[in-house]
Amino acid sequence: MPQSASALPRLFLASALALALAVPGASLFAAPTVAAPLKAADAAAFADIKIGGDIESFRLDNGLEVVVIPDRRAPVVTHMIWYRVGAADEPAGMSGVAHFLEHLMFKGTEKNPDGAFSKRVAAIGGQENAFTSNDYTAYFQRIAREHLPEMMALEADRMENLILTDAVVAPERDVVLEERRMRVENDPGAMLGETLDAVLYVNHPYGTPVIGWPSEISALSKDNAIAFYDQFYTPNNAILIVAGDVDAETVRTMAEDTYGKVAQRADPGDRVRPRAQRVPGALEVDLADPRVNQPNLRKAWLVPSYTTDEADNAPALDILAEILGGGSTSRLYRSLVIDQGIASSAGGWYQSSTLDDSRFMVYAVPSDGTSLEDLGAATRGVIDTLIAEGVTEAELERAKTGLLSSALYAQDSQSSLARMFGVALTTGSTIEQVRSWPGAISAVTAEDVRKAAETYLAPRPVTAYLRAPEAASAPTAKQ
Amino acid sequence: MGISTAAARPAARLPALWRTGLVAFAVIASLAIATVDARAVEIQTVETPGGLTAWLVEDHTVPIVAVNFAFAGGSAQDPDGKAGLANLMAATLDEGAGELDSQAYRQRLEDLAVKIGFDAGRDAFYGSLRTLTPNVDEAFELLRIAVNEPRFDAEAVGRMQRQIVSGLRREQKDPDAIASRVMSETAYPDHPYGRPSNGTEESVTALTPADLKALHGRLVARGELKISVVGAIDAERLAALLDATFADLPENADLTPVGDVTPKTGIRKDVAFDVPQTSIRLSLPGLKRDDPDFIPAYVMNHILGGGSFSSWLYEEVREKRGLAYSVGSYLVPYDHSGAFLAATGTRSDRAPETIAIITAMMTRMAKDGPSAEELAKAKAFLTGSYALRFDTSDKIASQLLGIQMEELGLDYIDNRNAMIDAVTLDDIRRVAERLLANADPIVVTVGAGAS
């Protein structure tokens, strides 16, 4: 839902900054000075890859930022408008209003009433949707390229002319409550995730669920949504991203004819939120629910995102996440699942792209006969070993290969590219930072990774236990 | 318009049982040719010296090669008492092969940035390969040993069993998963389609490496192998790699015949489960893909419950009444059966009302049918959205594989939009009458207050 970006696939997060794509391939795999597991010929061949697609960006007079990512393989475009506003920008006590407004944006305007936009998208065989996270809200259509000007006109219209009535708002609020039941209340693991966030972000809005608390969603009104809209939906707070069968000059002309006519409606100002505080003491959250028959545990640390990173540690955290928790060759998986046999799965990830301080998360699912507490201690042990002994060059190179190749694979999907740029630009990164990401990854050393682990994972995490109530504990092993 | 892209599409919520059907359906759903532009997908048929056939779309724009392939026979081939065997094979084929044990194999994949995966459908066993061009040779070699020389080491098999069992335990407490499982048992009693594809905790725990070797010997054969390839590779080089990878497989699979079956009707199952939102499933007999009415049925279903933000079910259940976030209907064609399925979730006290609305819409479709305008809009969407299915290598590879598996022919892409456009209101009424008139569906609910 991703709302909370933590729900985004790990690889996507890693590659959210991987906009290497317009960078000459030569820098991609250039770093290793050590014997890489890649054969030399392979590394050289990687470097020879010519990455297609020139990204261009510019700004309209009204402040709208525009990014164009050409991909001429199919006569299709992805048209996205991103607003630099998300759940973390909501007024206190009004959780869920960003997401609620996202739903209501489909209701209509004076010129295009009664869901006319969606009807038009369907009539031309387009696909559309929208999504909300802590830091951004985005709307998109995927269409044959000749419909791009019409989509821009419709999207520009609803940037300033949304009309809501109680008649459409009330049922949509029920839809959102059903969405919350589906995503959260029907799933004790998701409920625990909300609790974990609330404890990890003790003073920061990332601790509030993007979809909102049920009682606050229920109280949201038409006027709340419109007030939020009027405060944040304005061209100077938006980014237009067009990926696909287009060129920048054509997009510029189209954008000036449509979005360019929308006046600035507000000045949202800087996005200043309280700095996330690390509070002392052992922090554990524990949810016992009869709907659980497969327990698990998670550990979460507050860490810098690429945006808040002042000590150049974010690339090392990306690599640390790969080595510690990325798939079946990772430290956690090998130790807990294969060598010790005390977990049925284990892994971790780093949420790299957020406006404020982010999180590093590890998880493990116990094998029968292993307690969550013992599994937690063993997880801690794996991390302590990594801090004490560091990582091997082979691990380092494998992690780099995984991260950098994700940037190459990402070229296959114009939608993925558009999303990566949208996430980066709405969470405080620049296009240039995205482009230089492969270089930053390549430059990370084994000691950088060890140091990042020591700095950020040696302190106590918030630990979350999901389990069945005592009486109905997890089934024991079948004979 | 949800919080997320994926979640707003109800299909994403449908658990594994229906997955195969939906995958096949999605493929079929997208065969229309892009009339938008002359740069339509150009398919080469590659006949290898070793006697294999593959479809290739050669495109050197991005340095990626995507391969999708399928063997005949999926989880419907699981022997009695061994439910979940094909699924376990999908999980273990890439856990060690040839001289490489599990860790060595997985490390090699990562070192080369190669992705290999397998998936057991109901009627077919799928595989995929993704590689960057510099590593094409090594990638195919890794695929070759996975397909020809899987190790099925006890450690790796046991580890995958534990992982699958862990997932099955979670599913036992997931209302959507429970609803789907109950639906398939109810619709297909005494038939392989009624068994859980992923097995049960008991059946999966009892499986052995010997079972996997036996299934591998029966299923993995070149005779019915279908292959599609997209990306930066030419036909000649591909032919050699395909021969090296697949040509030494046995000619014929040894498949257990699966009987044709019509799903049951008229059964109500309410599973009591203490959750705030009740999962609802309705099912009726549907159509197999080779039924002459399949395309009209597909258009009819789009109007009824297939369209993302535009169907009758979306309008009546979600938009007007706010009863659900996700609601939709689907045609689920298997090789030996066809089903029509509707699915949603709503707060427990409004479940009866929601079921009544869904059935009323089914009745309305059978009795009145859509308007001419609704049919025209559905056709416009279905034909116009074709090109969106062909804008990545991954998507094209999966489209081409689907066309081959359904034996629709190389020219199907060129003809499909015309077939959609040819559907008349009479066709819709005929097929709605056939599928939905006097419908007596199976209804499954999982939630609180069930009695």
Q: Are residues A317 and A230 in the same domain?
A: no
Q: Which of B3, B162, B319 lies closest to A179 in CB terms? A: B3
Question: What is the spatial distance between Cα B329 and Cα B338, in angstroms, rounded to a whole number?
Answer: 14
Nearest C-alpha neighbor of A12 from the set B6, B202, B214? B6
Task: Name the residue of chain B whose CA is nearest to A406's CA.
Answer: B113
Tens digits of residue pLDDT in B384-433: 998 899 989 999 999 999 999 999 998 898 899 999 999 999 999 999 99
Q: Are residues A143 and A236 in the same domain?
A: yes
Q: Which residues from chain A sit within 8 angstroms of residue B155, using beta carbons? A: 338
Q: Which of A46, A173, A181 lies closest to B276 in CB terms? A: A181
Q: Is the pLDDT of residue B194 over 60?
A: yes
Classified as helix, coil or strand, B298 is helix
**pLDDT at A336 (0 to 100):** 98
Q: Is B322 on the interface with A (CB under 8 A)?
A: yes
Q: Are residues A238 and A290 in the same domain?
A: no
Q: Are residues A74 and A191 in the same domain?
A: yes
Question: What is the spatial distance between Cα B404 and Cα B387, in angstroms, rounded to a whole number?
Answer: 19
A182 neighbors B6 (Cβ within 8 angstroms): no
Q: Is A473 on the interface with B (CB under 8 A)?
A: no
**pLDDT at B340 (0 to 100):** 98
pTM recorded for the entire structure: 0.89
Contacts of residue B426, defined as CB under 8 A and 6 or more positions apart, other chains included, come to none
- Closest chain B C-alpha to A183 CA, distance in angstroms: 9
Q: Which of A172, A337, A367 lies closest to B322 in CB terms? A: A172
DSSP classification of residue B97:
B
Q: Are residues A314 and A360 in the same domain?
A: yes
Q: Which residues from chain B sit within 8 angstroms of residue A50, using beta carbons? A: 63
Determine, yes or no, domain membership for A101: yes
Q: Are residues A388 and A445 in the same domain?
A: yes
Determine, yes or no, domain membership for A47: no
- Closest chain B C-alpha to A280 CA, distance in angstroms: 34
Q: What CA–CA distances, in Å, run from A364 to A282, A378, A412, B37, B298?
A: 19, 10, 32, 50, 43
The domain of A129 spans 53-261
> Last residue of some domain: A261, A296, A319?
A261
State mean pLDDT over B260-288.
97
Beta strand segments in A231-309, E: 238-244, 283-288, 296-303
Question: What is the spatial distance between Cα A391 and Cα A381, in angstroms, rounded to a whole number?
Answer: 15
Q: Are residues A348 and A412 in the same domain?
A: yes
Q: Which of A99, A103, A185 lies closest to B277 in CB terms? A: A185
Classified as helix, coil or strand, B39 is coil
**What confidence tier does A53 reach under pLDDT thresholds 50, 70, 90?**
low
> Last residue of some domain: A261, A294, A324?
A261
Question: What is the spatial distance between Cα A412 and Cα A74, in angstroms, rounded to a whole number?
Answer: 11
Q: What percent of chain B has pLDDT over 70?
A: 91
Determine, yes or no, domain membership for A335: yes
Q: Are residues A188 and A291 in the same domain?
A: no
Determine, yes or no, domain membership for A292: yes
Determine, yes or no, domain membership for A167: yes
Determine, yes or no, domain membership for A424: yes
Lowest-pLDDT range, A32-46, A130-144, B176-190, B313-327?
Answer: A32-46
Q: Is A174 left (phi over 0), alpha (psi -120 to 50) or beta?
A: alpha
State mean pLDDT over B151-180.
97
Cβ contacts from A onto B, under 8 A:
245
Active site residues of A: 102
Q: Are residues A252 and A303 in the same domain?
A: no
**pLDDT at A347 (0 to 100):** 98
Q: Which residues from chain B sit within 8 angstroms of residue A51, using beta carbons? A: 63
The CATH number of the domain holding residue A62 is: 3.30.830.10
**pLDDT at B312 (0 to 100):** 97
Q: Which of A69, A182, A339 to mutate to test the interface with B (most CBs of B within 10 A)?
A: A182
DSSP classification of residue B265:
-
Question: What is the spatial distance between Cα B1 and Cα A131, in angstroms, rounded to a whole number?
Answer: 7
Classified as helix, coil or strand, A37 is coil
Check CB contact under 8 Å for B169 and A118.
no
> Last residue of some domain: A212, A228, A261?
A261
Q: Are residues A204 and A305 in the same domain?
A: no
Q: Are residues A61 and A187 in the same domain?
A: yes
* Axis crossing angle, helix B294-301 with helix B425-436, rounded to the nearest 10: 90
Q: Is B218 on the interface with A (CB under 8 A)?
A: no
Beta strand segments in B286-351, E: 327-333, 338-347
Check CB contact under 8 Å for A345 and B163.
yes
State mean pLDDT over B46-57.
97
Tally the domains of chain A: 2
Average pLDDT over all residues of chain A = 88
Q: Are residues A216 and A294 in the same domain?
A: no
ipTM: 0.89
Nearest C-alpha neighbor of B151 from the set B89, B244, B231? B89
